[in-house]
Structure 1
Amino acid sequence: MESFLEASIHGLLAFLALPKVGLASVFLIALVSATLLPMGSEPAVFLLIKADPTMFWPAVVVATLGNTLGGTISWWMGFGAERAYERATQRKPPNPRALAWLNRFGAKACLLSWLPLVGDPLCAVAGWLRLPFWPCVAYMAIGKFARYVLMTAALLWVFPGGL
């Protein structure tokens, strides 16, 4: 017998798996996976496209939007954390080599926000360093869009007949 929690989770997953909410699911998964939570959105995009190949571009665009919005949330979290740190300690944080590198490249470094493990924290550090918001968002979107196109196309090439 399933517990209430297990039944709720199974019900939610069944609802999100319905084709009519496929793009909404992809958006939500992409958004959450771009925060500092360890999660990947590529399987959701891939499975939606395998279920309906005509959804390639809509799924890529929706995933890019969700993932970019998640990156901006991380940027604002970093911005807020830096301000709280400054107020609490009354001093600027030390600037180690990684922060110096990010400062040198500026918003363009957010092109690398698509990278596993370092991409999401990179968005938060960009906020911490108060790099310009809109250029960071633009570079995040470009990098994330390229990742979804390349990763999804590669998965479709590797698994042409399905899993």
Structure 2
Amino acid sequence: MSLLLLFAWAFAAATILPLSSEVALVVEIVRRGDWQVPVLVATVGNVLGAATTYALARFAVTHAPSPSPRVARASALLARYGSPALLLSWVPVIGDLIVALAGAARMPLLPFAFWTTVGKAARYVAVAIAVSQR
């Protein structure tokens, strides 16, 4: 796997596609023998993928259907905790909803980018440290 493929996989995994980027990250860390560059590449790709979801939701908010129970839970989380709720943007399913709701709520871009980056980077660093410890 190359860094370009890792970037693309991490980007796609941050959209509504049902993908996981952790395996791709582990493969690249093992292949390279270091974790810093793969973590950076995966984080940038994953944050840009989330930003795409955020932007699509921001522009599509007027056409949104009635919310499902999962959307209602994510919406309540975002309303209760504000932009720090985006620390959970890496969690499967609910993370994508939180990102989309942040866009639909027209959350300012800087808090969105900051909290999303911190959450996604922390997850990748944790995976990298776990892989490096074996």
TM range (shorter): 0.7 to 0.9
Count of residue correspondences: 131
Alpha-carbon contact 1:112-1:143 (below 8 Å) kept: yes
CA distance in 2, matches of 1:116, 1:142: 16
Any residues of structure 2 matched to 1:1-163 within 5 Å, and which? 17=1, 22-54=2-34, 56-85=35-64, 96=72, 98-157=74-133, 160=134
- Residues of 2 paired with 1:140 and 1:77: CA distance? 16
TM-score w.r.t. length of structure 1: 0.72
Report which structure shows greater RCO (CA 8 Å, sep ≥6).
2
Q: Give the distance between the partners of 1:70 and 1:107, measured in 2 at CA.
A: 18
> TM-score, normalised to structure 2's length?
0.87
Task: Give the number of the structure whose alpha-carbon radius of gyration is greater.
Answer: 1
Structure 1: gaps (5+ residues): 1-16
SS in structure 2 of the partner of residue 142 of structure 1: helix
What is the CA RMSD across the aligned residues, in angstroms?
Answer: 2.1
> 1:138, 1:119 → 2: CA distance?
15
State which drifts further: 23-32 or 116-125: 116-125
Distance in 2 of aligned mates of 1:80 and 1:99: 17
Counterpart CA distance in 2 for 1:121 and 1:36 is: 9
1:97 to partner: Cα distance: 5.9
Structure 2 stretches lacking a partner, 5+ long: none
Which segments of structure 1 move beyond 3 Å, counting only runs of 4 or more?
93-98
**Does the 8 A contact of 1:74 with 1:121 survive in 2?**
no
Return the alpha-carbon distance in structure 2 between the equivalents of residues 24 and 83 of structure 1. 35
Q: CA deviation at 1:27?
A: 0.6
SS where residue 119 of structure 1 aligns? helix
